[in-house]
Amino acid sequence: MISRYQRRAMAELWSLESQYAAWLEVELAVCRVQAEMGLIPAEVPAEIEAKAVIDVERIAAIEENVRHDVIAFVTQIEETAGPAARWFHYGLTSSDVLDTALSLRLTRAMDIILNDLDELLTVLRDRAHEFKDAPIIGRSHGIHAEPTTFGLKLAIFYDEFRRRRRCLLAARRTIAVGQCSGPVGNFSAPGISPEVEERALARLGLSPAPASSQIIQRDRHAEYFTALALLASSMEKLAVEIRHLARTELGEVEEPFGKSQKGSSAMPHKKNPVGSENISGLARVVRANSLAAMEDVPLWHERDISHSSVERIIAPDSASLTDYMLARLSSIVRDMIVHPERMAENINLAGGLHNSQQLLLCLCGKGLSRVEAYAHIQRNALRAHHERSDFKTLLLEDAALAQHLSAEEIEAVFTPDRFFAATEAIFKRVFDQPND
């Protein structure tokens, strides 16, 4: 993972030092339980814990010779811990340590991500309420539809990110499992049993996988990385909305822009939505990584090692990128400049065409068929569109339409309040729910 897109907590969590520390944490949890159950000498765990020192460079040197990372780790621990280390890794196989430690780190990464997401939810809630009553034109296919409010736009995103939070919690539960079950998961080795496994994993805050082969099954990891990919897609969705609303032709929002920030090496006037664009780009990586995780699911028999190289890349990358993206998006939403006056101007660009549905329904209420009513309104709407004319003026001048709607009835349609009548009810449905 390149440091440009990695924050400190994630960088530390996915460092090589942290990896070996997690391995040692798993090994010592098993040692302690084995000692408590009389399976190894009682003094062993304390002696190993007191003497064992992790030496990353020494592990690398041993691995260069033995070509096996866990053997290199166990050998280096034995070099520093002394005779007691003959009970270290007792009855375990490499994947017991690798997979359990990976689950440990993935749950800790998820806790960081959940905290980040809670911050984004708070920012979205606050800004949604700030602009609850700020009218903005709704757009379908990029074309003016009917007005909504900017607060309602943000409320929709809040509700979506709350769903993503529930998905993350489910993925955390799925991945928060370990195994201490031996070479093919059947507890055949001395010192290992379902009871040892359960007690050791409880010390780590994990549950036993009900059944495992030599590995924890990779559908669990695929679920985890898919949850991150869905979150990344939702983040990109919000980033794309900001990018569109920031276009010169719209000018409804702006990303925060620092006093010394520059937008272009050639054009001094430029203020580009580079933060949102960055989120769009990184989302592609997180989504692609979820596909790689799915490819890891169908391993051979009790295990093969084809998943290992993939996970060394996608675990730190996806977790770190998600953490970075959430922090950046929260900052953008918190500090973005919103232009309600420009939103109001843009609503009127189409000369009131957004009232077409209400006019259609009024004619239906007068006894016209929907086809007849549609033809009356579309005729005037298309003319207003092509001639850049005022829609209401054309309607008032239409003699055929006057047979069904009076001028007063047409005027009554062109009032904005009906578009916002349900805003309070929608806000209540969105923000009165718990996030869990």
In this structure, is the dihedral angle defined by the CA atoms of residues 377, 379, 384 and 385, taken in order, positive or negative?
Answer: positive
DSSP H or E stretch at residue 337: strand 337-338
> Annotated catalytic sites, by residue?
141, 264
d(CA 129, CA 236): 22
Angle at 223 between CA 220 and CA 227, to 5 degrees: 145
Residues in the chain: 436
Phi, psi of 143 (to 5 degrees): -105, 145
* Nearest one of 132, 122, 221 to 171, comparing CA atoms: 221
In this structure, is the dihedral angle defined by the CA atoms of residues 267, 271, 276 and 278, taken in order, positive or negative?
Answer: positive
Quick one: tokens of 277? 């664009």
d(CA 341, CA 346): 9
Residue with tokens 């090994």: 27
Query: What are the residues whose beta carbons fall under 8 Å from the beta carbon of 214, sequence distance 6 or more?
Result: 93, 95, 183, 184, 185, 302, 303
Say if CB 377 and CB 394 are below 8 A apart: no
Give one DSSP letter per residue of 281-335, joined into a string.
HHHHHHHHHHHHHHHTSS-STT--SHHHHHHHHHHHHHHHHHHHHHHHHHHHHHH
* Nearest one of 197, 212, 215 to 39, comparing CA atoms: 197
Tell me the residue ranges of DSSP E strands in 40-171: 135-140, 143-149
CA distances from 61 to 23, 56, 67 (A): 18, 9, 10
Quick one: tokens of 310? 């993939």
d(CA 321, CA 326): 8
